[in-house]
Amino acid sequence: MIGNLQILIDAPALSLQLLIDGILVGAVFALAAYGLALVWGVTNVINVAQGEFVMLGGFITVFCADQGLPPLIAVPIAATALYVLGWVLFQLVIVHLVGRDMFNSVLATFGIAIVMQQLMAHVFGGADRIVESGLGSWFFLDGLIGIAKVKVVVFAACIALGMTLALFLARSRAGQAIRATAQEPRAASVLGIETRRVYALTFALNAAICGAAGALAAMAYTIHAYGGLAYTIRSFMIVVVAGLGNLAGVVWAALGLGVAENFAGFILGAQYQIAFVFGLLVAVLVFRNWRLKRKRLTLR
C-alpha cells in the first residue's frame, strides 16, 4: 500500500492517467445519479434497483454484440426496453409506494434488485462481461499515458444524454409537469396535471437513462449480474453530496467519485475498490450528519 503510494509520487504520469480514467468513468456515475435524484425528488422513492437497471442496460449491449450488431445500436434499444420495464414496474409496484413510509420503498426496490440480479445471472451467466469495441487507444507523453478511445466516446455520449435530459426537464411541457409535481404534487394536480402519470413517466424515464448509461458502460467497463448494488450506492452517495436538485453538483461529485475510486483502487489494491466505495458512503453520511449537527448547534 505504501509502496503503491511511492510509485504514484515517483511517476506523476501515472497519477495523470488515473485522474483521466476517473473523470471518464465519472460520467457514467453522473447519469445514474441524475436518474436517482429525479425519482427521489419527484416520487420520494429511493430506487435501490438503480444499479440493476444499469447492469441490465449493459447486458443488452452484450446481447446485441453476441448477435453481431454494432454495440452503439444497443443504446437506443436498451433505453427503450428499460423505459418499458420501468413503466411496468411502476404500475405493478412503485405506484403503491409513492407517499408511503420510506422503509417500504427501500425494501420493495431492494426486492426488485434481488429479482433482477438473479434473473440476469440466469440469463447472461454470473461472469464479468465486456464488449470489445476494437477502437484502440490514444497515447501521449511517449506512451506513458494511454486513453482508450471508447472511454472518451462513452464519456461524450453520457454528457450528451445528460444535457438532453436536463433540456427536456427545463423546456418541454412534460418536463415542466415533472418539475411542478416535484415541487408541490397537490397544487400540480389541482392545476390539471395527472400526477400519477407524471410519476410513471419519471420512473420509466429514470430506467431508460440507467439503461442507456449501462449500455454505454458495457463497452468500456466490465458489467456483472451482481454488480448493480455498487452503482446504486455510488448514485446515492453522489446525490447526498450534491444535494437534491443540484445538477452541476451531481456532475462534479460523480467525476470526483470516479477519480477518488480510481486512486483508491490503485493505492489499496483493486480488491478493495468496492470496499472503498461502500466505506466512502458511510464516511460521507457520517460527515453530513456531523455538519447538520453543527448547524443545529449554531441555530440554538
Binding site for other proteins (CB under 8 A): 46, 48, 93, 96-97, 100-104, 106-108, 110-115, 117-119, 122, 226, 229, 233, 236, 240, 269, 271-272, 274-275, 278-279, 281-282, 285-286, 288-289, 293
Least CB distance to other proteins at residue 255 (A): 21
Collapsed DSSP state (helix, strand, coil) of residue 254? helix
Cell numbers 460521507 correspond to 284
Least CB distance to other proteins at residue 31 (A): 20
Which residue's CB is nearer to other proteins, number 236 or number 263?
Answer: 236
HSE (side-chain half, CA atoms, 13 Å) at 123: 13
Alpha helices in the chain (DSSP H): 2-10, 12-43, 50-66, 74-92, 102-124, 149-171, 173-183, 185-190, 195-217, 228-242, 247-268, 273-299
Which residue's CB is nearer to other proteins, number 171 or number 291?
Answer: 291
d(CA 198, CA 188): 10
d(CA 37, CA 31): 10
Which residue's CB is nearer to other proteins, number 136 or number 269?
Answer: 269
Which residue's CB is nearer to other proteins, number 171 or number 288?
Answer: 288
**CB proximity list for 164: less than 8 A, separation 6 or greater:** none
Which residue's CB is nearer to other proteins, number 216 or number 230?
Answer: 230
Least CB distance to other proteins at residue 122 (A): 8
Least CB distance to other proteins at residue 130 (A): 21
In whole angstroms, how large is the CA radius of gyration of the chain? 20
Cell readout for 184 is 408541490
Least CB distance to other proteins at residue 299 (A): 14
